[in-house]
Each structure stands twice: as C-alpha cells, then as structure tokens.
Amino acid sequence: MVAACAPTFSNTSLSYGNKAELERRAELRMQLASAYYSEGQYATALSELDQALQTGERRADVLGLRGLVLMQLGNSEGASKNLQQALQIEPENPDLLNNFGWFLCETGQAERSLPFFDRAVSTKTYQSPAKALMNAGRCSMKLGQRGASENYFRRVLQIDPEQIGAHASLAKLSYDSSDFKRARRHLLQVITSARAKPEDFLMAMAVERQLGDKLAEESIALQWRKRFPDAVLSGTSSPGLVDER
C-alpha cells in the first residue's frame, strides 16, 4: 500500500529535467559570453562559451559566437572551424552566413565571402539584411568591384536611408570617380549626423576644393574644428576609407 502511494519517477522524466537544466545553464553562459564579447573581453567570453558547450548540446549560436571570438583573438583556423560547424547545424541561418562571410572577407578571401552575404540577404526571415549588404559592399571594394559595391550600398539605403556608413562609402566611390557633386550629396548626410568622423569632414573639404567652392570649404573646416578640436588637419587629396559604421 505504501509503495503503491509513493510517487514514482521514470528515467525519462529525470533525463528531461536534467536536460532542461543543462540547456538553461548553457543559455545563461551564452548570454554572458555575448555581453563580454560586446565589451571586447574576448578571453572571458571564450571561457563562458567553452562552459556552455560542456553543459549543453552543440548549439549553432554558441559555435558561431565562439568563431567570432577566436577571430578576434587571432586564431583564424579555430574561427573557421567553429563557424563552419555552426553552419552545418543551421545551414540557412542568415546571421551565421553573414558572420562567416565577414570572416572570409577579413582573412583575405573576399571573393569567397560574397555568396554568403547574398544567401543571408535572400533569407526572408533575416532581421538585419542591411548589415550583410554593408559587408558585401566593403568586400566588393576590396576586390576593386566598384559597380558591385555601389549597388550593395544603394540597396542598404533602400532599407535604411540614414545608414551613415553607406553614405560615407558611396561618397568615397563618387570621389574616386571624380563625381564630386554626388560625393557632396552623400557627405552632407554624413557630416550632419552624430556619427560623423574627422575623416568625413576632411573628405568634404576636399570635395568643395575640387568644386571650387572656397566658402563652403571654410564653413566645413569651421564645423570640423568645433566637432574635433584635437584633430590635426592633414592632406585631403584622396581620403581613403572602408567605413565600419
């Protein structure tokens, strides 16, 4: 009678409970790792990710972030391995596709990177296609594919008309092709934003010099000095940038 009334626990229920707890711990480790990664504490982030892999199943997001961390730590071989393992688990995950494309681009494999960005953008569930398009544009610039890079940046602006990095990159492309009026239009968007950099003002001054508008050049120089009083004016013959905003 006593035995009949006592609660019973199957191996299945115990296993399920243990698995749920392990998954919870892995998720907490992943959240901590993400926070450390965003703060540039890569060694600490790596430790958290290693513990996440020990406590839970091999999750694509954990492996993907571990690949990015290893990349920042200079371990390209480990980064490539982890990013590819993540894609084996979730081959159509747009964030993973974008990250692997970025890894390829940053490790001298820009041509191989472009199909991964294109696959990411074509995924209907992707929440941030502008990010992959920006990366594709940057990598196209590295390859000297001016037409392709301009197309990518323009697609970014169709999604986000105020994306400063895209405006700055299009300004650079326009400047290099001596289309100074178009460069001016894009730079106006850049230098009036809170995210403008000193080199944006230097390029804007160079553009006005090419257009022969001395008054506009002086006005931009004044704005530049107010925004960046510690910056040093240098030559502005052909400002170079691959914008990371």
Q: Is the pTM of this model over 0.75?
A: yes
pLDDT > 80? residue 19: no
Q: What is the pLDDT of residues 142-178, one digit of tens each?
A: 999 999 999 999 999 999 999 999 999 999 999 999 9
Residue 202 near residue 228, CB atoms below 8 Å = no
- Each residue's pLDDT tens digit, 63-76: 999 999 999 999 99
For residue 113, the tally of other CB atoms under 10 A from its CB is 25
Helix (H/G/I), strand (E/B), else coil: 186: helix
pLDDT in tens, 22-55: 888 889 999 999 999 999 999 999 999 999 998 8
Q: How far apart are the first and last CA of the chain?
A: 72
What structural domains and CATH numbers belong to the chain? 24-90 (1.25.40.10), 92-161 (1.25.40.10), 163-234 (1.25.40)
Task: Give the confidence band of 58 by pLDDT, cuts at 50, 70, 90.
Answer: confident
Residue 231 phi/psi, 5-degree rounding, is -75, 155
Compute CA distances 197 → 149, 166, 208, 222, 241, whole Å. Answer: 21, 14, 17, 14, 11
Question: Looking at per-residue confidence, does 245 or 231 come out higher?
Answer: 231
pLDDT greater than 90 at residue 215:
yes
Residue 2, pLDDT above cutoff 80? no
The yes-or-no verdict on residue 89 having pLDDT over 50 is: yes
